[in-house]
């Protein structure tokens, strides 16, 4: 059984020391570190932080031959245990790698644990060492009875799917459907309303359990314990799903305050993140693309299905906040409108299909640049809208996406899923025409008919004007100190036609110094040509931008409850939104 002693060797210089022991190594024992972490589709080359690797068998030093960027061959002799030790530099505050300083330690096994080739199916142990006395540990990996800070997983996949959070953090617990859930919060700088956080998280969990397993008390959840590990920071947002836990990153201002009346926007965002990652315990960690039946840790693992596993999860994350009562219907519709408006302001949706966006996540979504909005579409945002369109279409046929998800869960037994199975289930629920529509939305580049579907579900769709910069096709960073920097120029927009470049710094409009482009509305209108004074490569230039009143970028959607909708539409809305 491979075992790893993970020592917090030097917190001030962010160094873990790992000693791996393999009882019965092969003569030529392959050892390799993953290049990516499941759930985050980018080759991250974790081995770049590994150094000082050496190996021994008893007193004998073992020759290590490096065979590629992340793999070593240990030339062993005889059947005595192999010990491999190395350091890992850990100063990555994201949820995807490892971190160590004097206040906190965090790691994913993919950053620290070499994979012993040929031994992947054996149980794996992790032993923690060198923790300060007042530190605690949060992980969903099972502790070994009778041992302190020793944990065991059934195989390598499981060992690297339980992140560890360590420190003097806040800790709370609740039960959902009788299953213990733990919530830890690191980095909080002031007292926050922990009871509120636990109560809201519990409501979200119960609503999702009801979705997947019905309301009967007998349902067996796919995990025996679940851990939310939230690290709070000044700025940042992220989450990574695991089979029985999630690592979350959110701003401190998102924590609930005692006596908070209406929920703050950052707190609703945090609840949405909690909801999203918990949903993944079913959708992607268990029911998952058949391409992920076995992870290959040495290279990209492509799938065309992230629109389903990330997009539909995104559709459900906010919907679950409504369904569990954390937010009301108008607030839900505002969140939905935000997603819709984001997609409508992405010309790349006419260039790249959702299936392509999924496949290319590794080189496009996870490596965004200034051209991203023109060349790609988010399988999260547009995938969520396809989930919405499918749900509303299913509801017109007296079915629902909830029922479809349960059908798929049962059909796959919580295992691999491919596109044909999804289309077959849609056809069985609502006929072949809808299955064809879904295939079009996923493989084509047309927008799903959302306006008509929303109106058919008792939701009014109104348009309102976007800001001046958005209407011109500019994505900017703006501020009183930084001034106006162009981050993206949207394709086929007035800004593109005027020749504005990414990186241009806009100093003035019509001869007036500005700190935000929309300040120009004080003396101009949305329809009049604007003279821009800008800096490009240290030289001043003047460009004229001619607004286009017919540009779709000039308008965005606002959604509301339509009380004058037909009785059938209102009935569908009650089934969908609960009012
Ligand atoms: Zn996700």
**CA 218 to centroid of ligand 1, rounded, Å:** 28
pLDDT score of 260 more than 90: no
DSSP conformation class of 309: I
Query: Other CB atoms closer than 10 Å to residue 505's CB: what's the count?
Result: 13
- Whether the per-residue pLDDT at 153 is higher than 90: the answer is yes
Whole-Å CA distances, 409 to 78, 157, 206, 309:
48, 22, 17, 13
Q: Give the whole-angstrom CA distance, residue 66 versus residue 69.
A: 8
Our CA dihedral for 239, 243, 244, 250, rounded to 10 degrees, sits at 0
Strand partners, 289: 417
Residues 284-311 have a mean pLDDT of 97
Cα 152–chain centre separation = 27
What average pLDDT does this structure show over 436-447? 98
- Confidence band of 48 (pLDDT split at 50, 70, 90): very high
Which residues fall inside 5 Å of ion ligand 1, going by CB?
310
Residue 259 pLDDT grade (very low, low, confident, very high; cuts 50, 70, 90): confident
Strands laid side by side in the 170-176 sheet: 170-176, 179-186, 226-233, 245-251, 238-241
Instruction: Compute, in angstroms, the gap from residue 277 CA to the centroid of ligand 1.
Output: 6
Average pLDDT of the residues in 479-483: 89
Q: What is the pLDDT of residue 18?
A: 98
Mean pLDDT of 511-538: 96
pLDDT tens track for 306-319: 999 999 999 999 99
The confidence score (pLDDT) of residue 68 equals: 97
| Reported confidence tier of residue 216, pLDDT bands at 50, 70, 90 | confident
Report how far ligand 1's centroid is from the alpha carbon of 380 (Å).
Answer: 8
Q: Using CA atoms, how far apart are residues 518 and 484, in angstroms rounded to an integer?
A: 11
Average pLDDT value for residue range 46-54: 98
| Percent of the chain's residues with pLDDT above 70 | 100
User: pLDDT tens digit string along 85-107?
Assistant: 999 999 999 999 999 999 999 99
CA of 63 to the centre of ligand 1 (A): 42
Query: Model confidence at 413, in pLDDT bands (50, 70, 90)?
Result: very high
How far is the centre of ligand 1, averaged over its atoms, from the C-alpha of 35 (Å)?
Answer: 20
Q: Tell me how far the alpha carbon of residue 433 is from its chain's centroid.
A: 32
- Percent residues over pLDDT 90 in the chain: 96
Minimal CA–CA distance to 562: which of 465, 453, 487? 453
- The pLDDT value recorded for residue 209 is 97
Contact by Cβ (8 Å): 237, 271: no
Task: Count Cβ atoms within 10 A of the Cβ of residue 507 and give its class: 0-12 exposed, 13-18 middle, 19 or more buried.
Answer: middle
pLDDT digit string, tens, across residues 336-350: 999 999 999 999 999
Work out the average pLDDT over 141-164.
Answer: 98
Cα of 38 from ligand 1 centre, angstroms: 11
Q: How far is the CA of 42 from the centre of ligand 1 (A)?
A: 14
Going by the DSSP 8-state scheme, the letter that residue 308 receives in this structure is I
164-167 sheet: strands from edge to edge? 98-100, 104-107, 164-167, 136-138
- 273 CA from centroid of ligand 1 (Å): 9
CA distance 116 to 97: 20
Contact 417, 287 (CB under 8 A): yes
Spacing, Cα 313 to ligand 1 middle (Å):
6
**pLDDT of the residue at 79:** 83
What pLDDT does residue 551 have?
Answer: 95
Mean pLDDT of 157-186: 98
CA angle centred on 250, ends 248 and 255, rounded to 5°: 110
Taking the centre of ligand 1 as the mean of its atom positions, its distance from the CA of residue 250, in whole angstroms, is: 15
For residue 455, the CA-to-ligand 1 centroid distance in Å is 29
Distance 68 CA to ligand 1 centre (A): 31
Q: How far is the C-alpha of 453 from the C-alpha of 393, rounded, in Å?
A: 7
Residue 218 pLDDT > 90, yes or no? no
């Amino acid at each position: 059984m491979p075992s790893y002693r993970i020592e917090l060797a030097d917190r001030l210089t962010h160094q873990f020391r790992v000693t791996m022991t393999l009882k019965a190594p092969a003569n030529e024992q392959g050892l390799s570190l993953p290049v990516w972490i499941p759930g985050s589709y980018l080759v991250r080359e974790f081995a770049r932080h590994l150094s000082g690797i050496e190996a021994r068998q008893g007193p004998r030093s073992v020759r290590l031959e490096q065979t590629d960027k992340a793999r070593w061959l240990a030339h062993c002799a005889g059947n005595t245990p192999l010990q491999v030790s190395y350091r890992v530099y850990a100063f990555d505050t994201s949820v995807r790698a490892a971190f160590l300083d004097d206040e906190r330690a965090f790691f994913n096994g993919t950053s620290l644990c070499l994979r012993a080739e040929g031994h992947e199916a054996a149980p794996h142990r992790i032993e923690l060492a060198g923790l300060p006395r007042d530190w605690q540990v949060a992980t969903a990996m099972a502790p070994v009875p009778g041992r302190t800070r020793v944990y065991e997983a059934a195989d390598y996949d499981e060992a690297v799917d339980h992140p560890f959070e360590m420190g003097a953090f806040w800790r709370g617990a609740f039960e959902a459907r009788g299953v213990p859930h733990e919530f830890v919060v690191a980095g909080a700088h002031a007292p926050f309303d922990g009871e509120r956080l636990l109560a809201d998280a519990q409501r979200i969990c119960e609503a999702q359990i009801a979705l997947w397993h019905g309301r009967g008390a007998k349902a067996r959840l796919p995990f025996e314990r679940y851990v939310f590990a939230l690290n709070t920071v000044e700025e940042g947002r992220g989450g990574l799903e695991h089979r029985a836990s999630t690592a979350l990153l959110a701003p401190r201002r998102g924590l609930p305050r005692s006596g908070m009346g209406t929920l703050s926007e950052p707190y609703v965002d945090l609840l949405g993140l909690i909801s999203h990652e918990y949903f993944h315990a079913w959708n992607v960690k268990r029911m998952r693309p058949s391409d992920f039946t076995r992870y290959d840790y040495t290279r990209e693992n492509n799938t065309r299905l992230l629109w389903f596993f990330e997009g539909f999860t995104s559709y459900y994350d906010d919907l679950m906040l409504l369904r569990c009562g954390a937010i009301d219907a108008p607030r839900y519709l505002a969140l939905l409108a935000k997603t819709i408006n984001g997609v409508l302001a992405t010309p790349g949706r006419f260039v790249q299909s959702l299936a392509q966006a999924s496949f290319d996540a590794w080189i496009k979504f996870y490596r965004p640049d200034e051209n991203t909005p023109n060349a790609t579409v988010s399988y999260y945002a547009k995938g969520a809208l396809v989930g919405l369109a499918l749900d509303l279409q299913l509801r017109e046929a007296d079915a629902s996406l909830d029922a479809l998800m349960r059908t798929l869960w049962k059909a796959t037994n919580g295992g691999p899923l491919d596109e044909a199975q999804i289309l077959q289930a849609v056809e069985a629920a609502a006929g072949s025409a809808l299955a064809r529509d879904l295939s079009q939305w996923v493989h084509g580049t047309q927008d799903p008919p959302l306006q008509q579907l929303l109106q058919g579900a008792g939701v009014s769709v109104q348009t309102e004007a976007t800001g001046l910069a958005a209407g011109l096709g500019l994505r900017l960073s703006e501020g009183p100190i930084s001034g106006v920097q162009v981050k993206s120029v949207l394709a086929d927009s007035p800004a593109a036609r005027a020749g504005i470049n990414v990186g241009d710094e806009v100093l003035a409009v019509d001869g007036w110094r500005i700190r935000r482009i929309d300040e120009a509305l004080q003396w101009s209108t949305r329809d009049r040509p604007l003279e821009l004074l800008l800096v490009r490569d240290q030289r001043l230039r003047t460009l004229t931008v001619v607004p286009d009143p017919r540009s779709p970028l000039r308008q965005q959607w606002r959604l509301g409850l339509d009380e004058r909708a037909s009785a059938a539409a209102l009935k569908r809305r009650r089934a969908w939104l609960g009012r």
